[in-house]
Chain A
Amino acid sequence: MTTQDPQDAAPDALPDNPDTAPSNWGRLAGNIFTAQSTPLVTLLAIVLALLVGAILIIISDPAAMRELGYFFSRPSDFFNTAWHDVQSGYSDLFKGSIFNPSYINGTPSQFFGPITSTLEDATPLIFGGLAVTVAFRGGMFNIGGQGMTIVGAIATVYVAFSWTGLPGPLHLIVSILAGIVGGGALGLLVGWLKARRGAHEVVVTIMLNYVMYFFLQNYLLTTPAFHDPTKAGQSLSKPAAHGSVLPHLFGHELNTDIGLLIALAATILVAWFFQRSKLGFEIRAVGLNPAAARTAGISVARVQIWAMVISGGLMGLIGMSQVLGLNNPNNNSLSPNVDANLGFNAITVALLGRTKPWGVVWASLLYGAFQAGASVMQANDHISTDIIGVIEALIVIFVSAPQLIKEIFRLRNRDAATVGAAA
């Protein structure tokens, strides 16, 4: 989980100054989420979150709760049911995400099916995690993933179903770029409101989520320009043209598209951006200490706007991969719930990835695995996929409070200053 690029670690080494403006979440997040937490703490946080999830599964099973009522006369009933609930749930989680042992001699699609689903589910999370990371490093908190995803998806799907005159590969590339531009445009609005008008970006982004959702569902998908006439009564856009759909990455049997490659390319680009580019440096500087950055001659407003534009563009790529990717259940057309809660999951991904590009990739793989497994778990065991949101949020909370993990597991506390690290 911890990719310790030396240049990325540098900001965390800066001394804490209690007088700096409290807005620099980049610095705070960096400190909190790297501080003294080790891979062990991350692992224990995951275990702890899964334990809480197990408890939830048990207490929400009416049968188990009935048996708890006569626990002292026949405790075995309760333990059997509880064990069965949790065991079948979590083993399906594993089978759906990593590997299903019963297919040890199966076809390639059976053998690699779960792991490729995980990769496919991880793809949009990588985009989202990177998006939140860029904003974070610039001292801003982008919780507008849903809205930006929707705008990106609208732009992508429009290009993908209407500009059919373009030759195949070019059509795909233009569709992808449209997603970036769409998300970036909304990011520009947020950044402008934040930098020039002083509107709090958390409020603005969350409100834009609802604005865009209602716009898409109740307006855009009812207009003849977007609504698919063959899908009367359904909120679906016209499907993307065949040439603009993301091709399979590992052959037609397996459920991974080249969105994954784009995501990895984006990761490399963002990592390069923060290490080498001028704007990336400025974003980090503004995130660490806006007052100092301004003194050094950096235009804080310009940097904040750019950070939000880049963040929005990356969020737009979620929309792109949701529309053009293999995960789209609606024949590559746009549906109102295109976001599928990815905008919010991106936040937990970025936090678990400690707002570092490669950390985001690892965190996305983990959460992608949860998502891929959760759909199997829901189908087989009637355990709602919503439990993944609970587990993910708990992991982030536990990871960000390493001291709690250390207290619970009675780990030796090598550094007494752990708690103070974020003060």
Chain B
Amino acid sequence: MTTATITPHAEVAEETKDRSRLVAGLAEVLVGAFGLWAFGLGSRTGDGVRALIGFGVKAGTYQLSLPAKGVALGLSALAILCGLVTVFAPVSVVVRRWIAGVYLVAMVLAFLVWAAAGQSAGLPIPSVVLQTALATVPLVLGSMSALLSERSGVVNIAVEGQFLAGAFTAALTASMTGNVWVGLVAGMAAGVAMSMLLAFFANRYLIEQVVLGVVINVLAAGLTGFLYDRLMAGNGAEYNSPPLLKNWHIPGLDSIPVIGQLFQQNIVFYAAYLIVPVLWYLLYQTRWGLRTRAVGEHPLAADTVGIKVLGLRYQNLFYAGLLSGLGGVWFTIGNTGLFGKNMTAGKGYIALAALIVGRWSPLGAFASSLMFGFALALQYFLSPLGTPIPTAFLQMTPYAVTIFVVAVIGKKARPPAASNKPFKKG
């Protein structure tokens, strides 16, 4: 995505580097100290309170009982230590990145132990894994879609609109025909229609891509909202009661403890997770991938050696539309069934944030999608635990986490050089 980041001059960057490290480390220490106080020393984790962590699929089975106070204190202390190391220890960038990872995991675990403390139901890990995996599906599909288009130089902010179009069309067509596969194909086609609209106006009429993408999102929200009111609101039985995609159990894998449920899902779920290694392979190991990256970094050079820049951009946006259309399909016939106005609730934009945080690489985008998916799923597995956190704040979490992470990554993220730059031959 873009760019609006203004790259500072080299010397400015050098100066700010130490300061930003200091700020980041101190922020980590502060948040860690807050964790120590809130999770370790609060009344919820009093003396002798146990936190039950369940590993069985059925609630309350195979539970591990931990002393809540000690574990939460230990994890918070580990987090503070990570922050101190970031500030004071002369460690390399790679080590710092690992430390940041450890910090994040420690804080999240401390939080979960605090949440589970004293609850007889305990925290069921299989449910956490499953909810996270489910919430991640549209984010992965969306960020892979945006990745495809941005690596070839077109900013795809319209993922949200493609989601909505795909979700609506899938629900409508599947309801009218009674056939999920029609819905699946039609939903993907709707995603393609939206992405081709973007491609057409960005490549042929050279409209600013971020602006265009947002306007297309407005268009998609209006279009689906209008048709929802006209068709689905009045006659839901005919237009908005789609069948759901069948779950396929993968024999053998589906009986693995803890993660077995991940192998009892539908085709969109599997596709979302399979697309990541496939895309990684295609992008870095094939001629198409090399060309895509060339067109995204230096279209003029690519054009000079005979690559058809615009052709490739159209082609990749076609694939991008398929992927985000599939992401849209997930919202309706892949998951809950019914279509609702603006049901994607900004997940297309979160997918874009995942792409930025993942630094425009398939594996990075996947990892950050998982993180955002976890934040999205938080409210589902925390609400049974009866934490004192108001629901509103749990609902806000994924969005606030996105802002936070984008702010932390900040200037380090560098998009493909030609992304958001229209190419005109000649």
Listed in ascending order, the chain A residues whose CB lies under 8 Å from chain B are 18, 21-23, 25, 28-29, 32, 56, 60-62, 139-141, 143, 193-194, 197-204, 206-211, 214-215, 217-219, 222, 290-291, 294, 300, 344-345, 347-348, 351, 382-384, 386-394, 396-397, 400-401, 403-404, 419-420, 422-423
- The 0/1 profile, CB within 8 Å of A marked 1, for residues 300-311 of chain B is 000000000000
Q: How distant is A102 from chain B, measured CB to nearest CB, in Å?
A: 27
Residues of A within 8 A of B222 (CB): 386-393
Q: How far is the CA of A291 from the CA of B210 in the complex (A)?
A: 21
Of all chain B residues, the one with the shortest Cβ separation from A223 is B390
Residues of A within 8 A of B413 (CB): 198
* Pairs A–B under 8 Å by Cβ, sample size 18: A23-B3, A62-B235, A140-B4, A198-B411, A203-B406, A210-B345, A214-B393, A214-B396, A215-B392, A218-B390, A347-B211, A382-B229, A384-B225, A386-B221, A389-B218, A389-B226, A393-B215, A397-B219
Q: Report yes or no: A403 in contact with B5, Cβ–Cβ below 8 A.
A: no
Q: Report yes or no: B399 in contact with A207, Cβ–Cβ below 8 A.
A: yes
Residues of B within 8 A of A382 (CB): 229-230
Q: How distant is A163 from chain B, measured CB to nearest CB, in Å?
A: 26
Q: Report yes or no: A199 in contact with B207, Cβ–Cβ below 8 A.
A: no
- CB of B290 closer than 8 Å to a CB of A: no
Q: Report yes or no: B221 in contact with A210, Cβ–Cβ below 8 A.
A: no
Q: Report yes or no: B205 in contact with A400, Cβ–Cβ below 8 A.
A: yes
- CB of B201 closer than 8 Å to a CB of A: yes
Q: Report yes or no: A219 in contact with B392, Cβ–Cβ below 8 A.
A: yes
Residues of B within 8 A of A22 (CB): 2-3, 420-421
Residues of A within 8 A of B201 (CB): 397, 400-401
Q: How far is the CA of A23 from the CA of B4 in the complex (A)?
A: 4
Q: How far is the CA of A199 from the CA of B231 in the complex (A)?
A: 40
- CB of B391 closer than 8 Å to a CB of A: yes
Which of A56, A143, A198, A351 has a CB less than 8 Å from the CB of B5? A198
Q: Report yes or no: B353 in contact with A203, Cβ–Cβ below 8 A.
A: yes
Determine the interface band of chain B, counting residues with CB < 8 A from chain A.
35 or more
Which of A194, A197, A423 has a CB less than 8 Å from the CB of B424? A423
Q: Report yes or no: B5 in contact with A23, Cβ–Cβ below 8 A.
A: yes
Residues of B within 8 A of A62 (CB): 231, 235
List which B207-254 residues lie within 8 A (CB) of chain A: 207-208, 210-212, 214-216, 218-219, 221-223, 225-231, 235
Given contacts A207-B402, A397-B219, contact A214 B392 (CB under 8 A): yes
Known: A199-B407, A218-B392. 15 other contacts (CB 8 A): A21-B3, A23-B2, A23-B5, A200-B2, A200-B356, A202-B210, A203-B403, A209-B346, A214-B392, A218-B391, A347-B211, A351-B211, A390-B222, A420-B206, A422-B422
Q: How far is the CA of A140 from the CA of B5 in the complex (A)?
A: 10
Given contacts A200-B1, A393-B222, contact A29 B211 (CB under 8 A): yes
- CB of B395 closer than 8 Å to a CB of A: yes
- CB of B400 closer than 8 Å to a CB of A: yes
Q: How far is the CA of A387 from the CA of B399 in the complex (A)?
A: 28
Residues of A within 8 A of B157 (CB): 202
Residues of B within 8 A of A423 (CB): 206, 422, 424
- Counting chain A CB atoms within 10 Å of each CB, the highest count among B7, B225, B396, B412 belongs to B396
- Counting chain A CB atoms within 10 Å of each CB, the highest count among B222, B396, B408, B422 belongs to B222
Residues of A within 8 A of B5 (CB): 23, 198, 200
Residues of A within 8 A of B403 (CB): 193, 199, 203-204, 207-208, 211
Given contacts A347-B214, A389-B221, contact A32 B400 (CB under 8 A): no
